[in-house]
Structure 1
Amino acid sequence: MGRLFWKIFLWFWITLILIGVGASWGTAIYIKNSDDNTQQEYRSRFIDNRVESLRQILYYGGEEAAIEFLENKKLTSRRLDFFVVDGFGNDVLGRPFSVDAPDLNEFESVESIDGVTYRIFTAAPKRAKNISTVSQMYRPFRGSEGVFFLWFAIAILLSSLVCFWLAWYLTKPIKKLQSAAKEFSQGKLDTRVAKEMGGRRDEIADLGRDFDQMATQLQGLITNQKQLLSDISHELRSPLARMHVAIALARKKTGAEVDTEMQRIEYETERLNELVGLSLTLSRLDAGALYPKDDFIDIAELLEAIIADCDFEASSKNKKVILQHSQSWTLNANVELLHRALENIIRNAIRYTKEGTEVTVAITIKDKSHIQISICDRGPGVPEDKLKRLFEPFVRLSEARDRDSGGYGLGLAIAQRSIVFHQGEIVARNRDQGGLCIDIILPVEE
């Protein structure tokens, strides 16, 4: 699950919990206020009834009857005390009493049957602490704590499931779009996402359809560009062949005075022929041409043979090519394509490494089924923001690397496509000590 999923999940989950708590809080406040009003009304009626009863008892029964009535527990069961005070200011039950006591209310004076005047008071005992709103929320479950916690757990679980599903529903198509964009950027131009959106009819589905439309247009443009390159390369082959024949015939008919010019024409024709050949190879690889992979080669032996040839050429420029950490691994490959890819990369490293330095080639184990080949030079390197463009055809990245290189900008592009053809990966990185490293990861036979 990505970060967006958890953000959506947590926000919806917290929102649901806050809504639930807010609703419970409001309900508890409403119940509390309703209870206060109801209790106040009920208490007022209760007091009036009891005071009237005491008045009647005192009037007809006297003090003894009033004492018997006051000692009844039901009379004080409503958090209320009743006092009957004689003419001396004493409570008939002998309880401590003061007229100045707070929360004391006098209702009326009554003359009993024996001629004594009594006064009737009411007083609330010590008030209980105010019941909090949280207690009001908990009140329906008082005495059933297990039910409360079970209800709370079910609410959390249900809200989690709802939010999880909602977050998944929103982020699933976004993940598919992200995956499709990644595949498209890796060269899978037939990648589409509209079918993956299911029956959605929202903005995300519209975005998926827009992506498909964009991908179709880009695929058409890129395909046309590749086809144009392939067609031009094919068309140039025939006139180039005729130019070679014409040059040979012209040499026979002319004297030595034009020999230098003829050599120059032949040299440029050879360069043009080489460029056309590279362009054709690149277009075939881009078009997915089927090259047979029926060779089982020892990668160490292949590198040793390539390095031997390249080192011989590099020695004339006071440069070296060294093979480090060599190990024998068997690869199932097209030996011609793989040979050309590795040779292109090593020759490119020789071209840019500084005079008097060396190009190092190392074979290391990546994992049980892959090896890594690292080819490093000691040249000027490549700007970090342009490393990803290093394998694009006809790309010139910096003056320091391109000045007098004599290349066409196709060698690394062909190498990259050859490595991908072998289910491998190729990346470029700058060395901390200076220079460029090309890392190649290839599958090997276990």
Structure 2
Amino acid sequence: MKKRLLWNLLFVIAVGTVVFFWLIDLISKHTEESMSFIDVSYREELREYAREAERILYEEGEDALEIWVKEVEEREDTWIAIAQSSITTLSNTSLSQSYTDNFWLGRSLEWKIHLYFAENPTMDIFFEDGVNHFLIQLPQRMRPGSNLLIIDLILQIGIPFLLLCLITFVLYRHMMKPLKKLEKATRQFSKGQLDVRASDGFSHRDDELTKLASTFDHMAGRISRLITDQRQLLADLSHELRTPLTRLNIAVDCVEQNLDSDKALERLRYESSNMQGLIDDALTLVWFNTESPKLDLEDLEITSLLQVIVEDAQYEFSQHKVRLIQLESEFFIKSAQQALTAALENIIRNALFHTPIGKTVTVELKQKIDNITIEVRDQGYGVPEKYLEKIFKPFFRIKQENQDTERSVSSKKSGYGLGLALAKRQVIALGGSIYAENLSHEQGAGLMVCIQLPYCASLTQRRNE
């Protein structure tokens, strides 16, 4: 789901707020309703007033009732009346019996009291005779809802404030946890801890913040690999330059002492040429590693290119045989000629170097539905299975066994283990892939390096029209 964090916040804040205030309103209404009834003890006290008034009226008379009413009025700061409900109708009309039976001069003790009315209501209690009414304005001390203001403040301000603070804190923790972890990881990474990662422990989350942490991890991983590779490259380059520099110094000494100057000068030219090639290859490798370049692709006719590369290789290694197998028709691909040529030259030259004199290196072009495959098969001694991936690493070389003389897995031009490493990065930059595998004895033994490049048949068809 895109914008997962947005939807989470929308649900928590928008939906949660609506539900939250609905609940607050529901609780407030329920609380007000429960507070709107006269307390049970006060109801009983009012009924006791009515019974006492009825007793005094029938036992002591109206004069005694008047005195008692005034005492109660003064004590309760209210008014009291004893009345009869007598309704006179006009124009020969009549009231229904149900209306007459339920007619009240005041409010029943069981009814709700309006909490927001300023004046206290008049309460109506029937005498036992069912005719007379005991009417009393509800004393202020008996009025319900005396704590309504405080409760309203608590329900409508206090509780919402505390709960919103809690929600804000939870959201803050939810959002800041990965950000703080990212901050910590960034600080540690800046101090040289290249293996630190920010997304550890967030596998249960999948939102924009964890994606930010994953992006940081990807960046940190790439930077750490670049730093590690550059450190290793620098160490390897320093090691590889030490030997030719020693030879150069020896050659310079020979020239200075006039000891076989011609041979020494030839050695100087040879070593300086090798060092120049080593430095150029190393710089190219660094460029591919650090920049991950997107090469400018063009329509490239692959069969003609292979023909030229094979002819050049045959000329350079005249004591070997180079065989090209491909279809007669032209094939066009989207590629960069310079990068692809350099990669193929390195691979073919590497194969020729490890093929005994008189043996054959086969270059075969195969067409598939969505790619073309270029196989370079030599008749050398192969590579141990455990090294098939490592031969594409810079400066990686292994000693070949079962040979009269030891040789390293490298080409004559780049005898430092950079040829296949460069070829792999060039092929990847072209959108292809490369791998190596040993050939069986039935296949002629040796090693096969296979390049796969994207191919679109419509391009070839369009160019051939």
TM class by shorter chain equals: 0.3 to 0.5
Could you state the TM-score of these two structures normalised by the residue count of structure 2? 0.44
Higher helix content, 1 or 2: 1
Could you state the TM-score of these two structures normalised by the residue count of structure 1? 0.46
